Amino acid sequence: MSKNLPEPTNSEEVDLGQLFKLIGNAFERFFRFIANIFIGIYNVILILLIHFYKRKVWYATAIIIGGAFGFIIDKKSDKLYGANMFIETNFNSARQVYENINQFHQLANKDADSLELSRRLGVTVGEAAKLKGFYIEPDIDDNVIAEMYSAFYSMLDSVSRVEMTFDRYKKSLTNYNFNIHRIGVASTDKTVYKKIEKAFVDEISANAYLKSWLKLIC
């Protein structure tokens, strides 16, 4: 027995035609949108190129003047030199040493008080004016920290030993817990370090806590 397939109606053909037309219009609008973006970018680049081309002499002159000005400033600006020394603090004196260094940094870097620096370091005012900063930081060594932890751990009771892990102990340390520290001095005169070395060491060693401790044991 033969089967007769239904013929598509005119309404279905019209619906499909409209659907394809809508899809085609959507793609056309999309590609037109993309094209407009590229055209806009091209126009902006073209305008910029025309702008730079018309003013190329002005820009070239500005670059040359700016480069020359920067070169002159760099030549005239003072070079900064640095020197370091290592100290070992005793009798819990690290906190006071840090305070003394901070005072010197305040005088040199923030207050620019060359008169006071000159008086305390035994150099001329001009030489003191070339001092730009004083810095200090602990010389951290993991082996030293391990030794410190071992000594600290041995003094703990059984409960505290469980709680005080190495990482926790390491995080609890401050700059004052270390004995070795690096002191840095910044200056525009590399010859001034030798001139201030003795007076500077005497100044940072002027520890009120240490003096009172020495009086107690004498």
Domain over 81-139+178-217 is classified CATH 3.30.310:
yes
CA distances from 165 to 54, 82, 85, 115, 190 (A): 71, 38, 33, 50, 46
Written as six digits, the tokens of 43 are 């126009």
Distance CA 18, CA 58 (A): 59
81-88/131-138 β-pairing: unpaired
The CA–CA distances, whole Å, from 177 to 63, 152, 160, 207 equal 53, 12, 20, 17
Please say whether the dihedral angle defined by the alpha carbons of residues 117, 119, 122 and 127, taken in this order, is positive or negative.
positive
Domain chopping of the chain, boundaries? 11-74, 81-139+178-217
**pLDDT tens digits, residue range 51-98?**
777 777 777 777 887 777 666 655 556 788 999 999 888 767 888 899
Q: Residue 165 in 3-state DSSP?
A: coil
Average pLDDT, the chain: 82
pLDDT at 22 over 80: no
Q: What is the pTM of this model?
A: 0.60
Average pLDDT on 210-214 reads: 47
Task: Say what the pLDDT of residue 73 is.
Answer: 59
